[in-house]
Amino acid sequence: MPSNWRFSLWSFLAGILAAAALIAALATMCLHDGFSARQKAGAFETALAHFALHNSVSAHQRGLANPVAPSTAVIEAARDHFADHCSSCHANNGSGHSMYGDGLNPPPPDLRLEATQSKSDGELYSIIQNGVRMSGMPAFGTSSEHDLETWKLVLFVRHLPSLTPEEERAMQQANPITPSELREQQEEDQFLQGISIQPKGSTK
């Protein structure tokens, strides 16, 4: 058998052994740590996720400019939209500390920080529009590049670092409420208007 054949046979076997060792290491990691959302991702997993997210946005999408100009009215509308659709995970102030946000893995990042704010408008647009696979971040838009509601949300994400306490309070009015909270609110309104409420099932 020529010596270079022997060499390639050994490299082939070494490659298979290395791959088997890597699979065994990953399997042990999963079996040991499980798939619990409580387990914080390690540095390798986090770096891999950031790499995948960054590369999922094309250079063209990253370079898109926001067609909506910021104005008080636009920011207010986007603020209410965010309070209604995004705050359940991201919290009104964008910190990510909310009922759902604290239990998600990967967690929603603090949108006010450099890691998010340094992303281009096109990249933020693309993330909101298309979501992030294998994370809690849903896709909100149509496939069009000109979903103005999403572009307005990008303006609001840019506004988050300077959100005032008054604005945060105003957002609470736009946060979704549960059916029982809604009924409670209606009962209070009716009580204040002097209308008595019949208990459920009552015919009187």
Tell me if 93 contacts ligand HEC by CB under 6 A: no
Tell me if 57 contacts ligand HEC by CB under 6 A: no
Tell me if 136 contacts ligand HEC by CB under 6 A: yes
The number of residues in the chain equals: 204
Residue span binding ligand HEC (CB under 6 A) among the ranges 3-11, 13-21, 82-90, 184-192: 82-90
Give the Cα-Cα-Cα angle 16, 22, 24 (nearest 5 degrees): 100
Among 66, 79, 93, 108, binds ligand HEC (CB under 6 A): 108
Tell me if 27 contacts ligand HEC by CB under 6 A: no
Tell me if 124 contacts ligand HEC by CB under 6 A: yes
25 or 48: CB nearest ligand HEC: 48
Among 68, 77, 104, 170, binds ligand HEC (CB under 6 A): 104
How many other C-beta atoms can be found within 10 angstroms of the C-beta atom of residue 149?
16
Distance CA(163)–CA(158), nearest Å, equals 10
Task: Spell out a b/e string for 56-86, using b for 16 or more CB atoms within 10 Å of the CB, else e.
Answer: ebeeebbebebebeeeeebbebbbebbbebb
Among 64, 157, 160, 171, binds ligand HEC (CB under 6 A): 157
